[in-house]
Amino acid sequence: MLARTARRTLADTRTLARSTSTRTHTVTHTRLPTLQQPAFTRTVHSATTTMAPNDPYTAKAQDDASPQEKITELKNIIKETKFGMLVTRSADGQLHSRAMAPASHKGLVFQFIANTDSGKFDELDNDGNVNVSFADPSSTDWASVAGKASIVKDESTVKDLWNPTIKSWFGDLKDGVRTGEPGDPRIAVIQVIPSEIRYWVKTRTSLGQTVEVLKGAVTGETAAPGHLRVISGSDLELARKEDA
Phi, psi of 60 (to 5 degrees): -80, -35
Return the CATH number of 61-202+230-242, one of 3.20.20.190, 2.60.40.680, 3.40.720.10, 2.30.110.10.
Answer: 2.30.110.10
pLDDT tens column, 57-67: 455 445 668 99
Q: Are 152 and 70 in contact (CB under 8 A)?
A: no
Per the DSSP assignment, residues forming a β-bridge with 104 are 111
| Angle value at C-alpha 124, between 242 and 161, nearest 5 degrees | 40
- For the chain, the 3-state helix, strand and coil shares in percent, each to the nearest 5, are 50, 25, 25
3-class DSSP assignment, residue 55: coil
For the chain, which residues make up each domain, given as ranges?
61-202+230-242
pLDDT tens column, 102-136: 999 999 999 999 999 999 999 999 999 999 999 99
Give the β-pairing of 110-115 and 187-202.
Answer: antiparallel
Q: Are 236 and 74 in contact (CB under 8 A)?
A: no
pTM recorded for the entire structure:
0.69
3-class DSSP assignment, residue 236: helix
